[in-house]
């Protein structure tokens, strides 16, 4: 599984200004997935932005981290993260940040030490 963690996708704006019609970034930003502990910490840091238009992107990230947990043989954490993603998807714009923190705590508790 490759992991892409980028905020910008589009023309490469680092070079001088010319016609950029077919130009795209030359670097491949897809790489190996982060470790499960790093991915869980990144989720916790992104909860503050997980409302409104950014909620679907956070739900997708939850599903991605659930796959990482499954790869690391952590089914309890994977199930907790998938359930949290489903809850967030069905929230319809409500502020779910406290429930997200509680769900992440449950997922962390489900990790085997």
Centre a 10 Å sphere on the Cβ of residue 89 and count the other Cβ atoms it contains.
15
Domain extents in the chain: 34-110
Q: What is the pLDDT of residues 28-64, one digit of tens each?
A: 667 788 899 999 999 999 998 888 888 999 999 999 9
Mean pLDDT across 16-35: 68
Instruction: Say yes or no to pLDDT of 9 above 60.
Output: no
Please tell me the predicted confidence (pLDDT) of residue 91: 84
Please tell me the predicted confidence (pLDDT) of residue 109: 94
User: Cα–Cα distance between 88 and 56 in angstroms, integer?
Assistant: 8
Instruction: Say yes or no to pLDDT of 85 above 90.
Output: yes
φ/ψ of 31, rounded to 5, equals -145, -175
User: Cα–Cα distance between 87 and 98 in angstroms, integer?
Assistant: 12
Strand pairing partners for 85? none
Please tell me the predicted confidence (pLDDT) of residue 28: 64
């Amino acid at each position: 599984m490759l992991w892409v963690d980028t905020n910008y996708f589009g023309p490469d704006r680092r070079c001088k200004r010319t016609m950029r019609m077919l130009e795209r970034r030359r670097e491949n930003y897809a790489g190996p997935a982060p470790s499960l502990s790093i991915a869980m910490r990144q989720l916790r840091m992104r909860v503050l932005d997980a409302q409104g238009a950014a909620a679907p992107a956070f739900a997708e990230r939850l599903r991605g981290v659930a796959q990482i947990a499954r790869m690391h043989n952590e089914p309890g954490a994977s199930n907790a993260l998938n359930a949290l993603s489903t809850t967030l998807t069905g929230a319809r714009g409500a502020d779910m940040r406290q429930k997200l923190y509680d769900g992440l705590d449950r997922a962390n508790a489900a990790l085997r030490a």
